[in-house]
Structure 1
């Protein structure tokens, strides 16, 4: 299945009835095949926004459309064919081999008990190959490093054949090498990607568009050079943010200091 446009219209969320909103009404559009980076300080509403997109929490208001279809108006199994998510913790999957974990991605395409047919097996093996996991295919997930496990989770998501991939802090707790591997992977996937990131320099490097959140409100939405300015970043993160150009690449790089 090919990448699809994602449109959020006036989506918000509060824990229950009269409780204050953790995400205030938010609207944006992500073109098919583009990467949206969701950034902001702790408590900004990043994870809340992602949960609405991958159908963990229903929006209090608004709608989310993938390829023109409201993902909250279709059965969960059908929505899982549209949107896949890679989260930070995977401990419940320990005890399964890499191939078994990746095979779980085919579940939305079947009902009840099922065994992989020829097409399923082909998709599973293709995902394993794309993520360079052939050498680990028969190993228990628990024996892999953090970066390797993250690749397995992405392979499982690809086996779902989604149109949109949601990544929640995919580089969290990873060392520099594994962070670079995950970033390279994001760049090569032919999907619409929604990714939350703490590292603003990383977000500016890999994302086509940035959604900057603060206390549940949208502070900016647009290309990295417009959404991540010194003034916006300083105000949103309550720091003194400075941009400088790095030689020889001439790329912009943020440095941060506590305000005087």
Structure 2
């Protein structure tokens, strides 16, 4: 898999042409192989932005380019070979094994009723091995833990061989151990990644850049170390935020209180 740059220029979206925009014009650029975190309070427009990036919805204004090409100039199949998404809603089991769930990700690379052949199966095997899912390959998906299921959904996305990976709240509803597993996985992939997160400290720890949204408006874009100031975080999340630097690691950590 080869990462590609993601360029977003002035994209916006509203449920109808006359309705108030859910996402106002937003512009940013993610260089190939970098991780972008999208943060903001509930209703900020994070999920709407992600749906525009993985071509679920067409923006009302603006364009999304992957590797210099507008994703709406491609066919849906071509787009699915460039961009993969892991959503909060996980697949229903339907009695399928882990391998069968992961194999579904090869759909953009096969035509008609073809099974995909030896190369597709080799890709599936390679991804299962990379994500340490070999021993679970024949297990019923419905019997897995939350963290295991999340790894399977990432595996299904990776067998698409995408250049850009979109992750919508990938650590939601996971315990601390499984959150750490998913974070470690994200860091190791080497793809261009856009991930929406609620946890600002996690975003600051794993993301190269951060986009802050609030009420559908972009509040800032840039490296978390310089962008996530006490004032910006306090104003965006309507809390009193204070950033502290942990003495051992030097990493920044936000603490929050309700404003007086």
Task: Report the TM range for the smaller structure's normalisation.
Answer: over 0.9
Where does 1:1-260 land on structure 2 (aligned, <5 Å)?
1-260=1-260
Q: Are the counterparts in 1 of residues 93 and 140 from structure 2 also a CA contact under 8 Å?
A: no
Task: Output the CA distance in 2 between the equivalents of 1:35 and 1:86.
Answer: 15
- Give the stretch that moved more between structures: 108-117 or 191-200: 108-117
Task: Output the CA distance in 2 between the equivalents of 1:93 and 1:210.
Answer: 34
Secondary structure of the residue aligned to 1:114 is coil
Task: Output the CA distance in 2 between the equivalents of 1:95 and 1:56.
Answer: 27
Which segments of structure 1 move beyond 4 Å, counting only runs of 4 or more? none
- Structure 1 spans left out of the alignment, 5+ residues: none
Shift of 1:92: 2.7
Residues 84-131 of structure 1: CA deviation (Å, up to 9, x unaligned): 000111243442110001111110011221113111110000010111
Secondary structure of the residue aligned to 2:165 is strand
Task: Output the CA distance in 2 between the equivalents of 1:44 and 1:93.
Answer: 31
Q: Are the counterparts in 1 of residues 200 and 254 from structure 2 also a CA contact under 8 Å?
A: yes
Q: How many residues align?
A: 260
Task: Output the CA distance in 1 between the equivalents of 2:42 and 2:226.
Answer: 22
Residues 151-190 of structure 1: CA deviation (Å, up to 9, x unaligned): 0011111100000000000000000000000000000002
Secondary structure of the residue aligned to 2:116 is coil
- Structure 2 spans left out of the alignment, 5+ residues: none
Task: Output the CA distance in 2 between the equivalents of 1:61 and 1:112.
Answer: 34
Task: Output the CA distance in 1 between the equivalents of 2:93 and 2:144.
Answer: 12
User: Normalized against structure 2, the TM-score is what?
Assistant: 0.98
User: Normalized against structure 1, the TM-score is what?
Assistant: 0.98
Compared with structure 1, are the counterparts of its residues 247 and 94 closer, same or farther at alpha carbon in structure 2 (3 Å cutoff)? Answer: farther
Task: Output the CA distance in 2 between the equivalents of 1:42 and 1:196.
Answer: 11
